Amino acid sequence: MDCLFCKIINNEIPSYKIYEDDIVYAFLDVNPDSTGHTLIVPKKHYSDLMDIDEETLSHIFKITKILKLRIEERLNCDGLTLIQNNGAVQEIKHFHLHLKPFYKNKKDKTLEEVYELLK
């Protein structure tokens, strides 16, 4: 399979990993829409929302709550948007959830700076 996220999970492509367990892998988006833009992906390949099982989906949201607090506390964001795309709007066909911090005043940090704060 030629899946970018599977390659990241398998350490074939480097990433700024901020969380990992047996079920999920979370890392910083290398082309972030905002400072701290994070992706949470299941380690098992699921193509989209209709493909993923309820147990894995529930675990993803459990980890989302943990990472939401970490992002808020360490990056001082003013809000956080969750986005999950399907179909034609889904760029990479491996289920993933975006955590996009929102700032009233723009925060410019490098990926390396954000990584040091969130790892």
Domain 4-118 in CATH 3.40.50.11540: no
* pTM for the model: 0.94
* pLDDT at site 108: 85
Contacts of 98 (CB under 8 A, 6+ apart): 29, 33, 37, 38, 39, 81, 82, 83, 84
Nearest to 52, CA basis, from 24, 33, 73: 24
Helix (H) / strand (E) containing 19: strand 17-20
User: Which residues are designated catalytic?
Assistant: 96
Q: What is the pLDDT of residues 44-56, one digit of tens each?
A: 999 999 999 999 9
Give the start-to-end residue ranges of the domains of the chain.
Answer: 4-118
Bridge partners (DSSP) of residue 75 are none
> Would you place residue 72 in the very low, low, confident or very high pLDDT band (cuts 50, 70, 90)?
very high
> Would you place residue 106 in the very low, low, confident or very high pLDDT band (cuts 50, 70, 90)?
confident
* pLDDT at site 91: 93
